[in-house]
């Protein structure tokens, strides 16, 4: 046994560990949120389009909804907007927006200009609700089930890919039950 071959052997073992590490890391991207599988945080915030009413987690209980964090200051959100309108047109799942640290007037003119994909928009001026949700940076989208459990989280602009691959299949049993 050549003792000088020992380093290569140790390195070989390390490669195996690293390879396993890489194999595991793709799911790490989705498990990143500690909220997954946990109840969505409670919130009760003013409605952007009708400040007299509130949007609250309690009011959303019992149905599936997509929770989308956005702001007019966010460039990616503009890129995402077209996809959100698609989601609205598909009418599979209601879309609840969280207008994060934004100016109400600007947010309203944004929706008037680009079209409003949301069923309701909650206003989070202080950013506290976003902190509760563990938002890392806008845009972010969460899928919440009727029991109020977060089942999926996507960081970054929503794409057709994410929609068909990650969101629709999770909604499928429900869609099937409906038809």
Partner 1 sequence: MLPELGHFALILALLLAGLQAFFGIAGPMLGRDRWIAAVTPAVAGQFVMIATAVGCLVASFVANDFSVLYIAENSNSALPMFYRVTAMWGAHEGSLLLWILLLAAWTVAVTIGASRLPPRFAARVLGVLGLISFGFLLFTLATSNPFLRLDPAAPDGHDLNPILQDPALAIHPPILYTGYVGFAVAFAFACAAMLEGRLDQTWARWTRPWTTAAWAFLTCGIALGSFWAYYELGWGGFWFWDPVENASFMPWLMGTALVHSLAVTDKRGLFKSWTLLLAILAFSLSMLGTFLVRSGVLVSVHSFAADPSRGIFILAFLIIMIGGALSLYAWRAPQLKSTAGFELGSRESFLLFNNVLLVIAATTVFAGTLAPLISDALKLGTVSVGPPYFNPTFMLSMLPLLALLSVGIHSNWKRGRLKDKQRTLLYTLIAAAVLACGLVYGIYSHGRVLTPVGATLALWIVLASLVDPIDRWRRGLSLSRAVIGMTIAHLGLATAVIALTTVQSFTTERDVALAPGASTSAGGYEFRFDGVRPLEGPNYDGVGGTIVVTRQGAPVTVLTPEKRQYWVQRQAITQTSIKMHHGNNLLVALGEDLGGGRWSVRIQIRPLVSLIWLAALIMAIGGATAASDRRYRTAKVAEAPALGATARDGAA
Does residue 138 touch partner 1 according to CB under 8 A? yes
Pick the closer one to partner 1 by CB: 17 or 177. 17
Does residue 178 touch partner 1 according to CB under 8 A? no
Size of residue set near partner 1 by CB under 8 A: 29
Give the one residue of 26, 34, 62, 173 binding partner 1; rule: CB under 8 A.
26
Residue count (the chain): 179
Write down the least CB distance from residue 27 to partner 1, Å. Answer: 10
Rule CB under 8 A: which of 65-104 touch partner 1? 71, 73-76, 100-101
Give the one residue of 1, 12, 178, 179 binding partner 1; rule: CB under 8 A.
12
Does residue 25 touch partner 1 according to CB under 8 A? yes
Question: Which residues form the interface with partner 1 (CB under 8 A)?
Answer: 2, 4-5, 7-8, 11-12, 15, 17-22, 24-26, 28-29, 71, 73-76, 100-101, 127, 137-138
């Amino acid at each position: 046994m050549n003792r000088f071959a020992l380093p290569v052997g140790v390195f070989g073992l390390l490669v195996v560990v690293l390879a396993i590490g890489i194999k595991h890391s793709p799911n790490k991207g989705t498990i990143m949120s500690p909220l997954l599988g946990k109840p969505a945080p409670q919130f009760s915030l003013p409605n952007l389009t009708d400040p007299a009413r509130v949007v609250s987690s309690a009011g959303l209980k019992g149905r599936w909804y997509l929770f989308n964090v956005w702001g007019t200051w966010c460039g990616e959100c503009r890129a995402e907007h077209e996809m959100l309108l698609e989601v609205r047109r598909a009418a599979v799942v209601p879309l609840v927006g969280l207008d994060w640290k934004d100016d109400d007037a600007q947010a309203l003119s944004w929706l008037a200009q680009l079209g409003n994909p949301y069923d309701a928009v909650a206003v989070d001026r202080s950013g506290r609700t976003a902190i509760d949700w563990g938002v890392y940076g806008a845009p972010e989208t969460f899928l919440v089930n009727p029991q109020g459990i977060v089942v999926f989280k996507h960081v970054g602009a929503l794409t057709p890919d994410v929609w068909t691959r990650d969101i629709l299949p999770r909604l499928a049993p429900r869609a099937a039950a409906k038809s």
